[in-house]
Amino acid sequence: MAKTEQAIVTEIRCGSLIPVPLAALALVLQGTFAVVDANGFAVASADVGGADQSCIGIWDHSAENSGVDGEVVACVRRKQQFLVSNSTADPVTQADLGAVVYVEDNQTIAKTDGTGTRSVAGYFMGFDLENPAYVWVEIE
């Protein structure tokens, strides 16, 4: 497409709730990390936790794709802070405030990348005031 020489109307969306196509046979669970594979399809919640995955937010609702890649689309919440579990084996501490944190499993973050085995979840933004086993993570 060639450049425009006239004013145009460009569609917009806020980006805090986006549709994401699911991989074949993927079941995603509301409230868990929404992760996509190298092909851009959502990984089943049971398979979350690899270094070759990209965390893009939290599932807004559960969905299942019993067909081929992309046959089902589900919505992901992002550009917010989410309350998730802190790892018991590799936990963040107050000194890590603002640091990058990593996906340990579909609902837990870890302080480190597990020597290259974990993908980035987002940024550690503090502990829950009522239950310090949970932390706030900002996912862009």
Question: Is 61 contained in some domain?
Answer: yes
On whether both 112 and 125 belong to a single domain, the answer is: yes
Average pLDDT over residues 107-132: 97
Q: Using one digit for the tens of pLDDT, what is the confidence trace for 95-114?
A: 999 999 999 999 999 999 99
Give which of 38, 46, 49 is closest to 62, Cα–Cα.
46
Mean pLDDT lowest for which of 1-5, 23-27, 103-107, 126-130?
1-5
What is the domain range of residue 119?
80-139
Query: pLDDT value at position 1?
Result: 81
Last residue of a domain, one of 52, 77, 102: 77
Question: Is 6 contained in some domain?
Answer: no
On whether both 90 and 124 belong to a single domain, the answer is: yes
For the CA atoms of 97, 49, 58, 44, the dihedral, rounded to the nearest 10 degrees, stands at 180
On whether both 85 and 135 belong to a single domain, the answer is: yes
Query: In sequence order, what are the beta bridge partners of 101?
Result: 122
On whether both 73 and 41 belong to a single domain, the answer is: yes
Q: Say how many domains are in the chain.
A: 2
On whether both 101 and 61 belong to a single domain, the answer is: no
On whether both 46 and 85 belong to a single domain, the answer is: no
Q: What are phi and psi of 127, to 5 degrees?
A: -90, 150
On whether both 58 and 30 belong to a single domain, the answer is: yes
Q: Using one digit for the tens of pLDDT, what is the confidence trace for 40-91?
A: 999 999 999 999 999 999 999 999 999 999 999 999 999 999 999 999 999 9
On whether both 92 and 69 belong to a single domain, the answer is: no
Last residue of a domain, one of 77, 100, 116: 77
